[in-house]
Structure 1
Amino acid sequence: MATLILVRHGRTTANAAGILAGRLPGVLLDETGERQATRAAERLAGVPLTAVVTSPQERCRQTAKAVLSAQRDAGRSLRATTDRALAECDYGDWQGRPLKELAREKLWRTVQAQPSAAAFPGGESLVQMQQRAVAAVRRRDAAITDQHGADAVWVAVSHGDVIKSVLADALGLHLDLFQRVHVDPASISVVRYTAERPFVLGTNTHAGDLGWLAPPPRARRRRKAGDAEVGGGAGPEPAGDAG
């Protein structure tokens, strides 16, 4: 199966102000967030992406634009596709409110300790958020694999809780444990799905070239795709050594 790179949007004006932005319009990257998005895009410049898919929220589209710009600089031409299933959690009546105020709500404790029981007034539950996001990335990953082959690499730009829920599913964690997963602004996480199981290749990374995710220059016989290497394996070939 293809390789999925999960990119959280860069820091926003709402993040910096401690506001739960949710799906409010007009929430944009601040200067720090723009720099973060550029750095994330530069890390991906050595990876020939087959697709860039983004949440409809503006902060994600800005981050996706940076990824596309770095791909163009590397001689590749791509357009972003918007997928509403990757949208921010619908926090309903909570969106637009300060986090320090929300922390006094009874529901806050549920979100922290038992997310599977948390439903936001006027919005969706965290279970619903996870179900739509996981279904979307798995469905698109299968379609990209069918179209471009098992060596394809693609990017999904989304939000903190959405990405955490996708990673929790890939790690086999119950949603009630997803708060153990951390996803910072503009961080990059990597998942490879197979018929047997997902493999989580990285979470919440901030630095380092990701060129090792690029497909090999020519096809090589591989072990069965869904098998784990007993003992840990040899890892990816260093850049320039493949072939």
Structure 2
Amino acid sequence: MATLILVRHGRSTANTAGLLAGWTPGVALDERGAGQAAALPGRLVGVPLVAAVTSPLQRCRETLAPLMAARPELELHTDERIGECHYGDWSGRKLSELADEPLMKIVQQHPSAAAFPGGESMRAMQARAVESVREWNTRIEQEHGGDAIFLMCSHGDIIKSLVADALGMHLDLFQRIHVDPCSVTAIRYTPTRPFVFRLGDTGDFGSLVPGEKAPTPDKAAEDAGNAVVGGGAGAA
């Protein structure tokens, strides 16, 4: 069966501002995110990709731009089903402010029961993303064979929910998964079960080294035992 490479978009201006972007238009990569995107073609050298699928949001399209320039033969598709969670009234708000919302406790501890005001539920988010992956797997295998490898560029919560599905984890456990900006996750789907070969791989282990670090919104959330909704900005 096909192998899927999931790439989270590079660090965005919303990530560094501590905002929950959602589908807010005009959210671009910041300088570091652009550098992460520029490095992506080199990280995937030798991987025989047959297709790329992207979320329609700007930060994902910008992340794939260097890869598409390096591989002009690669076909690019857009699929709204792997677009960011529809956070509704929460979109564009500061994560530090949202931390005090009663719903945040549900998002952290019981996400399968969480539905964003004016937006969608986390169950619906996962369902549409899984449906997209399953359909693309079938299409890619039919067109390119069982050893084909394809790529999807998406968002933190989407990728975490797909990994949870692949691992057979309940959605209520998906906040235990972490994927940094421009990280690579690889899942191979077989007739009986998926296999997760890479998870949130950036090739950079600097964030694991103890020491004095500047405080970040991500670190503050994680120190409190919470996941960063939307995925966070990664290492400082």
Q: How does 1:153-164 map to 2 (within 5 A)?
A: 153-164=149-160
Q: How does 1:65-104 map to 2 (within 5 A)?
A: 65-72=65-72, 77-104=73-100
Q: 4+ runs of 1 displaced by more than 4 Å? A: none
Q: How does 1:97-136 map to 2 (within 5 A)?
A: 97-136=93-132
Partner Cα separation in structure 1 for residue 166 and residue 68 of structure 2? 26
Secondary structure, aligned partner of 1:7: strand
Secondary structure, aligned partner of 2:153: strand
Secondary structure, aligned partner of 1:137: helix
Partner Cα separation in structure 1 for residue 134 and residue 45 of structure 2? 24
Structure 1 residue 45 displacement after superposition: 2.3
Partner Cα separation in structure 1 for residue 178 and residue 146 of structure 2? 28
Q: Say if 2:107 and 2:114, in contact at 8 Å, map to a contact too.
A: yes
Secondary structure, aligned partner of 1:50: strand
Structure 1 residue 207 displacement after superposition: 2.0
**Which residue does the alignment assign to 1:42?**
42
Partner Cα separation in structure 2 for residue 84 and residue 33 of structure 1? 22
Letter in structure 1 aligned against 2:21:
A
**Which residue does the alignment assign to 2:184?**
188
**Which residue does the alignment assign to 2:7?**
7
Identity of aligned residues (%): 57
The TM-score normalised by the length of structure 1 is: 0.82
Structure 1 residue 40 displacement after superposition: 2.4
Q: CA RMSD in A?
A: 1.0
Partner Cα separation in structure 2 for residue 134 and residue 60 of structure 1? 18
**Which residue does the alignment assign to 1:32?**
32
**Which ranges in structure 2 are unaligned for 5 or more consecutive residues?**
205-236
The TM-score normalised by the length of structure 2 is: 0.84
Aligned mate of 1:172, from 168, 178, 182? 168
Bigger drift between 40-49 and 88-97 goes to 40-49
Q: How does 1:51-70 map to 2 (within 5 A)?
A: 51-70=51-70
Structure number, greater radius of gyration: 1
Letter in structure 2 aligned against 1:10:
G
**Which ranges in structure 1 are unaligned for 5 or more consecutive residues?**
209-243
Q: Say if 2:50 and 2:75, in contact at 8 Å, map to a contact too.
A: no
Deviations 1:150-192 (A, max 9, x none): 1110000000000000000000100000001101100000000
Secondary structure, aligned partner of 1:29: coil
Partner Cα separation in structure 1 for residue 196 and residue 16 of structure 2? 29
Structure 1 residue 65 displacement after superposition: 1.4
Aligned mate of 1:144, from 132, 137, 140? 140
